[in-house]
Amino acid sequence: MIWQRVGKMLRRVGRVHLTGAGYELQCEIIYCLDEIFGFSGRWGIDLGSAGIVVVQMMHSLDIYNDGNYPDRMFGFQFSEVVDATDEDGNVIVQEKNGKEKIERLPFKQIATDLWLQRYQGRGVEQVYDPEVLEHYTNHTATQGQRHLIYDKKNDHTIDADRVAMLAKVYGEDRVVDVFAGGAYQRGAA
């Protein structure tokens, strides 16, 4: 997902689906899209199986140095529990039994709540996309012992939006440790 801020609106300006694409191709597509947009935005990445490799490659391989990815690409483990914030980065404090306590939630729930608030506040613009609409309208969650548990079926679109929101809100505070190496050269035959 590629989002641009237009005033107070977030506008979806692109969507790329890369199922089955190798890590190198994923990195190249991200790099090319980023180049088109002037290497100016933040990238949020789900640190699932492919995400950790893509982040490591883009942070450490010399061919991606001009993208400055260590400062602009942030990885998130959805199950990590952190201090919840609003979209402006203000920590959410709950009062319980007369005492204030910082609310701590998994990244996935925080991102979902932030998108829900943005959609309800009519702060999103996007073209009609039946696949995205289907994914959102059929996405469900159940209450676990401590936190919500989200359905994994057709969640890639929603997860891409979630990491975009997390990069917007938590990006500057995230540090992603990278332990990767290798050789790779971009070229045309």
Distances (CA, A) of 129 to 119, 157, 186: 16, 11, 33
Within a 10 A sphere around the Cβ of 125, how many other Cβ atoms?
13
Q: How many residues does the chain have?
A: 189
Question: From CA 127, how far away is CA 14, in angstroms rounded?
Answer: 10
Tokens of 73: 């690409």
Does CATH number 3.30.420 belong to domain 2-91+122-173? yes
This prediction's pTM: 0.83
Hey, is 11 helix, strand or coil?
A: strand
Q: How much is the pLDDT for 187?
A: 56
Tell me phi and psi for residue 122, to 5 degrees.
55, 45
pLDDT, mean of residues 4-13? 89
Q: How much is the pLDDT for 180?
A: 37
Hey, is 175 helix, strand or coil?
A: coil
Say whether pLDDT at 91 is over 90: yes
More confident residue, 100 or 172: 100
In 90-174, where does DSSP find H-type helix?
107-120, 130-137, 156-170
pLDDT, mean of residues 8-21? 88
DSSP state of 62: G
Tell me phi and psi for residue 101, to 5 degrees.
-140, 135
Question: From CA 169, how far away is CA 140, in angstroms rounded?
Answer: 24
DSSP state of 122: T
Say whether pLDDT at 53 is over 90: yes
Find residue 106's DSSP bridge partners. Answer: 81
Residue entry with tokens 């402006």: 88
Q: How much is the pLDDT for 145?
A: 87
Q: How much is the pLDDT for 44?
A: 93
Buried b (16+ CB within 10 A) or exposed e, 1-26: bbbeeeeeebebeeeeeeeeeeeeeb
Tokens of 173: 């505070």
Write down the domain spans for the chain.
2-91+122-173
- Calculate the average pLDDT of the chain: 87
Q: What is the pLDDT of residues 103-149, one digit of tens each?
A: 999 999 999 999 999 999 999 998 888 998 898 888 888 898 888 88
Share of the chain above pLDDT 70, in %: 90
